[in-house]
Structure 1
Amino acid sequence: MDVLQVLWVDLRSVQEQVSSYHYLNKEWTVSRVSHIDKIDQKMGENPPKVVCFEFDYPDIPRLSALRQVRCLFPSTPVIMLTKQHSEALAVWALRVQVWDYLVKPFQPQELVASIATLLAADELSTNKISQSPQRANLLSNPFPPEVRIQTAQPKKTYPAELFVETHYHEKIYEEEVAQLCGLNVGTFSRHFKKEHKVTFRGYLINYRIFKARELLENPNVMVTDIAYTVGFNDPSYFTRMFRRIVGVSPSHYHQTYKITT
């Protein structure tokens, strides 16, 4: 059995949206679970080098699953990804000694670099990043107030997320998306920035680059076609955005997958 490098625990409440799991290096050995009751089984069968917990709106049962992993497998570093963010939640994560705390949306290279750093460590058990926390300290760490009362109501700009996922390859006008959310453009822009920590235009660009990455992993595609396929009308602008977000040019990224296949 291959050594499991990354265990991806997908505990998002809205699973239809794109998971950050797709940002991972295809050369890594990765296993993915989406049910709390499967986590301990996976950890026991083939202990991973790193565990990534992905949340959108974490609640007490989901955060308890992360805390249990820290209690039962204290030498295994944990990376936490979350859409909902607050200072209290970040402090909670710090107290359970997660290795990294990433708030969505983030740059893909942030996640990749964090995992790569952990995998590159020769002996995680002797490294300060994975020193075992005291179980009593973990269990006494109170949950943030905002996760104690969860509402099923989606965010005001949730329809905009769904629209981007199905129309990202088309020309998208912010006025049109604002109407879908029942808001005027100004109000929509403020709500979107507050809820996503990025402007709508920035969110759209990030999503298009994400889809471009998926397409570029096919060694048979033509790089010159990708820009138009994901909604960019200017290939030069696409290349600049791709390099800014991913860290390399589309051609370099595509060439990497041509070599490994």
Structure 2
Amino acid sequence: MNDTATLERACCAREFLWADLMPDPGASMLNAVRDACEVCRVRELHDVSSAIRLHEPLFVCFEIDDPEARVFDFLMQVRNDHPELPVLVITGRDSTLVARWAMRLKVWDLLVKPVLHEELNETISSTAAITKERDAAVMSYTLSSSVSSSDPKSRNRTDPLKRTSAAITHLNAHFACRIDLESVAAVCGLSPSQFCRVFRKEHHVSFGQYVLCFRMNRARELLEHENMLVKEVAYSVGFNDLSYFTRSFKRHFGVCPAAYQAAARPVI
């Protein structure tokens, strides 16, 4: 199949990690893709962290039948320990709770069963390919989007109307506040799970990644031009956790915000 060939090209350099948390391993969707590329499969949550350190995978996929609090807690731990690692979630339950957690955890994509094999292969292939140039591609996209979003004439001239365009408008107006997935999805006339899928398809990044990069760009502008403390910048662009803001900024720009601000200010 063409999907399998594409998957092989995308994943040939490095394997990815599949956390199979299904009660019956025979029911896992990994059976549809594991021959297409190198996959490391783990069946227990406590094996995930060591597998990430050992294999340095392109990304991690969690397949969950019925999400539990302990699974969400562990996902949060993985995101905190490996913020640069894309995470896919495949779940058997379509609920607002799952979508909210996906947003909070900033997962790369959320798939709700039933999932066609072609859709799964396409998701894995695109995630593997995008991951290889993740930082440069995402930042370039966000920077150009920020410019076009602030210039309605330019946006209307270059971009077709998207189903999630209202979400970008909402983000421009409320990026300094808490962004509620359910509210943003409602603005676009979609359910939370539909919104996650459509936004990823239209913008080539998850909504969580888009929001993060949008805020990073705004923070950089403030550090360059405003006489503000780093913590004030963090709060003004929607971060409540200064340490998380610092880690995110350094991951995006290669330097901590305080050092960036010092370098950006003119020498007197």
TM-score w.r.t. length of structure 2: 0.44
Q: Which has the higher helix share?
A: 2
TM-score w.r.t. length of structure 1: 0.45
